[in-house]
Structure 1
Amino acid sequence: MNPTVPTPAPPFDDAHDDVPAAFRRLPPQDLDAEQAVLGGMLLSKDAIGEVVELMKGQDFYKPAHETIFHAIVHLYGEGEPADPITVAAELTKRGEIGKIGGASYLHTLVQMVPTAANAEYYADIVHDRARLRRLVEAGTRITQMGYDADREVDEIVDAAGAELYNAVGVRDEAALVRVGKRLEGHIDSLDDRQKNGVTKGVPTGFTDIDALTNGLKPGQMIVIAARPAMGKSTLAMDFARACAIKHGRPAAFFSLEMSEEELMNRLLSAEARVGLHHLTSGTTTSEDWQRIARVAPRISEAPLYMDVSPNTTVMEIKAKCRRLQQRDGLDLVVIDYLQLMSTGRKTESRQVEVSDMARQVKLMAKELKVPVVVLSQLNRGPEQRQDKKPVMSDLRESGAIEQDADVVILLHREDAYEKESPRAGEADLIFAKNRNGPTATITAAAILHYSMFADMAQT
């Protein structure tokens, strides 16, 4: 029987034997590419302009290279030449010449690259290695989070998702482009908008609202606020229906108040023009069934998603939206409503908790780059006034909502207070705040027996 041949020991220090091999390797980097980038920049100011659009100083693995990069970019920004002599003088003035190995290292960089033509290619390599390093670092932090027993699981999951998102989204998507290159496409967009009424953001289904806002924009937090029973949920569902059913764009509706059956009844009532009371009381007529049959395929094919989980948190909603966005895309989020949510942790007061949730919703909109419509209750201020109309100050008990919102729509119906009102069947959509446009009051038809609002011209 042959003797067993011992397996050679791995080439690592004994002091690190308890560390997984994947974590004992050098982080992803390419020092030759880093030197080539800097050499090209020292040879040509054109190369400097190309490189700074593709990468940042933090993308370099070697600290000395980042130091040189910042000196070159500083001189370039001042309109001064950036060659080995001027860069050496700049680094000497900063007291950093010793950090990079002396002026001779700058000449070495230039000698390594015969031409600056490939600086852009090498900059891409350096940037890609930096993204991989960030993924490794994010993975390490996520691993550490997993062992933190003092934090809530939902908080850890949300933080882990954010770590990965930040790691892969390092490069700024915005780039400096010549206006002429965009002009033709922009004119086509204007022409299409004029002919087809296409809005730049997510359409709401209301002509006057889309004209005022030009659609709901990515990153916006849109607040629909009213006293109870005014129709907040109905208006929010109108927005979701317009997005998903009419325009085929993915929308997610989170209801912390209604059951799935209630939501489905409202959706069917509005789309099929079937009385909501028929659906809830089981008195649906044959004509109602025909209308439902006609709209059922359209609803089934629409990318409209609903979630009726009670006692949910902003973090949980954000995690669900991020997964949906990665899987099927996402253009609109609706949350019904803010005061029913929880932060998942203890706070000094309910007001502080609601303010914290408002900030989290705004950050979610920015992170996911979608408009988020969130419903909110008003205080009793309107009921204490003669005309009953809500104003922005009625939100103040809810802390940061007014401050964080991009758009605030105050919903008011006179017939909710005065049954014989001459404006019965009308609703005022008061745009009390519109960060990117004018404020106004838009009148809509309140067709609540069909669980919907509509343009006045459609009635």
Structure 2
Amino acid sequence: MTTIDRLPPHSLEAEEAILGSLLIDPDAIFDVSIFLRPEAFYSAQNQTVFEAILALSDRREPLDLITLTEELRRQEQLEKVGGEAYIISLINAVPTAINAVSYGRVVEAASLRRKLIGAASTIANLAYDEAEDVNIVIDRSEQALFSISEQRTTRDLVPVKQIAREYLERIEQLHERGDDIIGVPTGFTDLDRLLGGLNKSDLLILAARPGMGKTALQTGIALTAATRYGKRVAMFNLEMSGEQLVQRMIATETRIDSQRLRRGQLHEHEWPIFMEAIGRLSETRIFIDDTPSITSNQLRTKCRRLYAEHGLDLIVIDYLQLMQAERSTNNRVQEISEISRALKGLARELDVPVLAAAQLSRAVEQRADKRPLLS
């Protein structure tokens, strides 16, 4: 049998079992609906029944043979799903609802496999399109897979007892270490004393007017984290090339004038200093991406890959407003808000600090209210 002849992955038995389990134990919907969606059902008939169950649950109405039958009749779907006889057969399909979550996981797994097959087909079509730039093909392929993996990122409710126990262990470790810095050190003593370093899962916005040294400050923090503390740093610079950023780093490390560095005009005594700085920088675990107008999804995919291959301690972005929204709208403020939420989600997912620069408007100087605004 060829791939084309194969039926997509599915389990009608599991679909019927989960629906029957919900009819036997309606409270199981609270555990199942966390991860299972109507579109996960292969059978349109079973999908319609599950949607009706969710509708009753959303309205906090009781679920049984009679209420479900009436809900389907109200939606004019009862005969399409096989009538009352089919609902009765679902109840008879399982003796108990104890395995409801397991049945739901089987349905979810089959759905994910179907989505992977669809993504693979999409990727194949993209690859065959020779008119499309190969880098765009790669980005879109990664997005196709990422959109599937993203759907699986869910968190369950955790007893506070468990969180408190983990928190206690962390505090005991910090107490034994006797260090004020609990996150990634910035290299600025007063700032580290105030913040305790750049903490995991935090999104930190470094906001200032143009030309006030945001990039220099970010670069300094990244260099300190990587050279002095051996941290793994991902730097996304949307404003300058990777070579320009490295030049800034070398200028910071050597105190050699950046303009002379750019022109290669080094004095004889500066060459050893320059070569030593190059060697020191080459030994760090700094990873630079200078993709202009990168989207939050693209950035997340790259960080995920880096995290898996090398580990990751800090993400630096310069700067926020140069990032491109996933969906273009006429409201740039809304787009920036969505990008910020995506970056916060990334910080939490990878459990690393994200330091993002943001441009403030120069118009503050012309306003009576001097509070800064995004440019």
| Same fold (TM > 0.5) | yes
SS at match of 1:99: coil
User: In the alignment, does 2:314 pair up with 1:314?
Assistant: no
Aligned pair partner of 1:178 in 141, 159, 165: 159
Partner of 1:235: 217
Partner of 2:102: 121
How far does residue 133 in structure 1 lie from its aligned partner after superposition? Answer: 1.1
Partner of 1:365: 343
Deviates further, 73-82 or 131-140? 73-82
Output one character per residue of 1:109-139: Cα deviation in whole Å (capped at 9) or x when no partner. Answer: 1212112112222211111111111111222
Output one character per residue of 1:20-52: Cα deviation in whole Å (capped at 9) or x when no partner. Answer: x32442111111111111111111234333322
Aligned pair partner of 1:56 in 37, 51, 57: 37
Q: Which one has a bigger Cα radius of gyration? A: 1
Aligned pair partner of 2:83 in 93, 96, 102: 102
How do 1:37-76 and structure 2 match up within 5 A?
37-76=18-57
User: In the alignment, does 2:67 pair up with 1:89?
Assistant: no
| Matched residue type, 1:328 | H
How many Å separate the matches in 2 of 1:377 and 1:283?
A: 39
User: In the alignment, does 2:244 pair up with 1:262?
Assistant: no
How many Å separate the matches in 2 of 1:61 and 1:108?
A: 18
More strand by share: 1
How many Å separate the matches in 2 of 1:380 and 1:51?
A: 51
Residues 223, 374 of structure 1: 8 Å contact kept: yes
Output one character per residue of 1:346-373: Cα deviation in whole Å (capped at 9) or x when no partner. Answer: x9xxxx9x98996896476367446554
How far does residue 165 in structure 1 lie from its aligned partner after superposition? Answer: 0.6
How far does residue 236 in structure 1 lie from its aligned partner after superposition? Answer: 0.6
Partner of 2:372: 392
How far does residue 63 in structure 1 lie from its aligned partner after superposition? Answer: 1.9
Number of residue pairs the alignment of both structures matches: 351
| Matched residue type, 1:183 | A
| Matched residue type, 1:325 | Y
How far does residue 167 in structure 1 lie from its aligned partner after superposition? Answer: 1.2
How many Å separate the matches in 1 of 2:58 and 2:298?
A: 44
How many Å separate the matches in 2 of 1:83 and 1:377?
A: 57
CA change 1:139–1:266 in 2 (3 A) is: same
CA change 1:144–1:216 in 2 (3 A) is: farther
CA change 1:41–1:359 in 2 (3 A) is: closer
Aligned pair partner of 1:30 in 1, 4, 11: 11
How many Å separate the matches in 2 of 1:282 and 1:383?
A: 42
| Matched residue type, 2:307 | Q
How do 1:261-410 and structure 2 match up within 5 A?
262-266=247-251, 269=253, 275-276=255-256, 281-282=266-267, 302-307=284-289, 312-314=292-294, 318=299, 320-336=302-318, 362=340, 365=343, 368-369=346-347, 372-375=354-357, 392-393=372-373, 395-396=374-375
Residues 218, 365 of structure 1: 8 Å contact kept: no
Output one character per residue of 1:399-456: Cα deviation in whole Å (capped at 9) or x when no partner. Answer: xxxxxxxxxxxxxxxxxxxxxxxxxxxxxxxxxxxxxxxxxxxxxxxxxxxxxxxxxx
How many Å separate the matches in 2 of 1:115 and 1:72?
A: 18
**TM-score normalised according to structure 1 size:** 0.61
Partner of 1:403: none
Residues 203, 344 of structure 2: 8 Å contact kept: yes
Output one character per residue of 1:247-279: Cα deviation in whole Å (capped at 9) or x when no partner. Answer: 544212245255365244246x2xxxx644599
How many Å separate the matches in 2 of 1:249 and 1:78?
A: 51
| Matched residue type, 1:44 | D
Output one character per residue of 1:190-233: Cα deviation in whole Å (capped at 9) or x when no partner. Answer: 5656754455x7554446556469836658473544443x4333
Residues 219, 368 of structure 1: 8 Å contact kept: no
Unaligned runs of 5+ in 1: 1-9, 11-20, 397-459
**TM-score normalised according to structure 2 size:** 0.72
Residues 76, 82 of structure 1: 8 Å contact kept: yes
Residues 192, 198 of structure 1: 8 Å contact kept: no
CA change 1:306–1:240 in 2 (3 A) is: same
How many Å separate the matches in 1 of 2:364 and 2:61?
A: 63
How many Å separate the matches in 2 of 1:323 and 1:213?
A: 28
Residues 203, 356 of structure 2: 8 Å contact kept: no
How many Å separate the matches in 2 of 1:216 and 1:305?
A: 20
| Matched residue type, 2:100 | A
How many Å separate the matches in 2 of 1:47 and 1:240?
A: 48
| Matched residue type, 1:82 | L
How many Å separate the matches in 2 of 1:190 and 1:64?
A: 53
How many Å separate the matches in 2 of 1:96 and 1:189?
A: 55
How many Å separate the matches in 2 of 1:131 and 1:337?
A: 35
Residues 230, 285 of structure 2: 8 Å contact kept: yes
How many Å separate the matches in 2 of 1:89 and 1:131?
A: 32
Residues 135, 168 of structure 1: 8 Å contact kept: no
Partner of 1:222: 205
Unaligned runs of 5+ in 2: none
Residues 64, 100 of structure 1: 8 Å contact kept: yes
